Amino acid sequence: MKDPITIIQKILDKVFGHLLYYIEQEFFTRFGRMSPSVSGVTETVERLKGIRTGDWGTTAQFDADFTNMYSLCDVELLKRHVLNGARLAGLSEDSVAYIFNLIEVNMAHSYFREPTGIFHTTTGYSMGDNSASKGSEVILRDSELGTFQRLQDKSLLKNVEDYFRFKDDIHAHPDGTIDEVLEALHIISTSYPQEIQLNVEINIVQGKFLNLRLYNLIWAEGLFRTILRKRNSKSFLSTAILRSATSIVQGERTLT
């Protein structure tokens, strides 16, 4: 017997995809650029081309991820950001109420199967929920509208051209004066929902986003990234010299 909740999840998946379209449009309308969300390493590399993030001593590298992203997406958090997306999409109150009902039914009947039995998820999405990926994306991408607005209000958007997120992994590379870098890092790290734990790491020599290894070696001729590939591919290590790699914030002030 097929799980009837699966039908609701597939409907929500399409609804969330519709909202994401309008949220993405809002980024272009308000900020003239795409959201940080990327589909993978290929898109990341393409968007990195031409980005110049600063020289040694003027930039820092920010890497972060969310802990238990799906299980922490509770009903009220999801509804709050879905409502924002629905307003951008111009949906009626009745449509929003219908979507909310679907969300509540889905979350209230969230189960997953284990070898020892079937279990009920007490909060957030269960494993295998067909709407979890786009639902969590609505939460994060809508939150990033607020991030960009705060950066714009502080005249810092120009300092954070290198800012990407793949699902629950985030990479940002602000540049500028020490004060500008610190303020940009503070805004990015505090703009996501408090309900979801964000683990932050600031690297000064090397880091990793997807399968991009990011280097900042002071003795190197240029700043660069390397693309790590599987051993059975034609090239195990392919190096691309891009003028948009990591750097360090030097001086007496440190990033903590």
Q: What is the pLDDT of residue 231?
A: 44
φ/ψ of 86, rounded to 5, equals -65, -35
Band (pLDDT 50/70/90 cuts) for residue 67 is confident
pLDDT value of residue 241? 30
Question: pLDDT, tens digit, for every residue of 47-56?
Answer: 777 666 556 5
Is residue 133 classed exposed, middle or buried when 0-12, 13-18 and 19+ CB atoms within 10 A define those classes? Answer: middle
Average pLDDT over residues 48-69: 74
- Give the Cα separation of 204 and 190 in Å (integer): 21
Question: Confidence band (pLDDT; 50, 70, 90) for 102?
Answer: very high
pLDDT value of residue 213: 56
Q: How many domains does the chain have?
A: 1
pLDDT for position 97: 98
pLDDT digits (tens, 9 = 90+) for 87-96: 999 999 999 9
Q: What is the pTM of this model?
A: 0.78
Q: What is the pLDDT of residue 174?
A: 85
Q: What confidence score (pLDDT) does residue 201 get?
A: 77
- The reply to whether 251 falls in a domain is no
C-alpha neighbours within 13 Å on the C-beta side of residue 13: 13
Mean pLDDT (whole number) for 151-176: 90
Residue 228's pLDDT is: 41
Residue 61 to residue 228: CA distance in whole angstroms: 19
- Tens of pLDDT, residue by residue over 2-26, are 778 899 999 999 999 999 999 999 9
165-205: pLDDT as tens digits: 999 999 888 888 889 988 999 999 999 999 998 888 776 54
Q: Which among 171, 153, 142 has a CA at the least distance from the CA of 24?
A: 142
What pLDDT does residue 145 have?
97
Q: Domain range spanning residue 20? A: 5-240
Q: Is residue 254 part of a domain?
A: no
The pLDDT of residue 237: 28
Note whether residue 253 is domain-resident: no
Establish if 88 belongs to a structural domain: yes
Q: Cα 30 to the chain's mean position, in Å?
A: 19
Torsion of CA 166, 237, 200, 171, to 10 degrees: -40
At 224-241, the pLDDT tens digits run: 454 444 444 333 223 333
Assigned domain for 247 exists:
no
Q: Does 249 reside within a domain?
A: no
Mean pLDDT of the chain: 79
Helix (H, G, I), strand (E, B) or coil at 2: coil
122 versus 220: the higher-pLDDT residue is: 122
Closest to 74 in 3D by CA, of 37, 33, 107:
107
The answer to whether residue 248 is domain-embedded is: no
204 vs 29, more confident: 29
